[in-house]
Copies of this chain bind each other. A is one copy, B any other.
Amino acid sequence: MSVEKKIIAKQLMESYFQSQVGGNMMQNRSIYNQKPGEIMVLYFISTNVKDDSPGLKVSEISGKLNVTPPTVTQHINSLEAQALVERHADPADRRVVRILLSDKGKKYIQRINEARLNMFVGLVKHLGEEESLLFAEMMRKASDYMLTQQEFYIRNFIVDETDEK
Contact of A138 among B28, B121, B135 (CB under 8 A): B135
**Would you call A81 an interface residue if the criterion is a C-beta within 8 Å of the partner chain's C-beta atoms?**
no
Query: Do B115 and A12 have beta carbons less than 8 Å apart?
Result: no
Cβ contact within 8 Å between B25 and A121: no
**CB neighbors of B among A90-115 (8 A):** 111, 115
Residues A21 and B65 in contact, CB atoms below 8 Å apart = yes
Does A122 sit at the interface, judged by CB under 8 A? yes
Q: Are A157 and B31 in contact (CB under 8 A)?
A: yes
Q: Across the interface, which residues of B come within 8 angstroms of A17, CB to CB?
A: 40, 43
Which A residues fall within an 8 A CB radius of B?
1, 4-6, 8-26, 28, 30-32, 40, 43, 47, 64-66, 111, 115-127, 129, 131-143, 145-147, 149-150, 153-154, 156-158, 160
A153 and B9 contact, CB distance less than 8 A: no
Chain B residues in 8 Å Cβ range of A118: 153, 156
Asked if A122 and B149 make an inter-chain contact with CB atoms under 8 angstroms apart, the answer reads: yes
Provide 28 A-B residue pairs closer than 8 Å at the C-beta atoms, listed in order of the A residue.
A1-B121, A5-B121, A5-B129, A8-B132, A8-B133, A12-B135, A12-B136, A13-B120, A15-B137, A19-B140, A20-B23, A21-B40, A21-B64, A23-B146, A25-B147, A26-B153, A28-B154, A30-B154, A31-B154, A32-B157, A111-B160, A122-B145, A122-B149, A123-B145, A127-B142, A134-B134, A134-B138, A135-B135
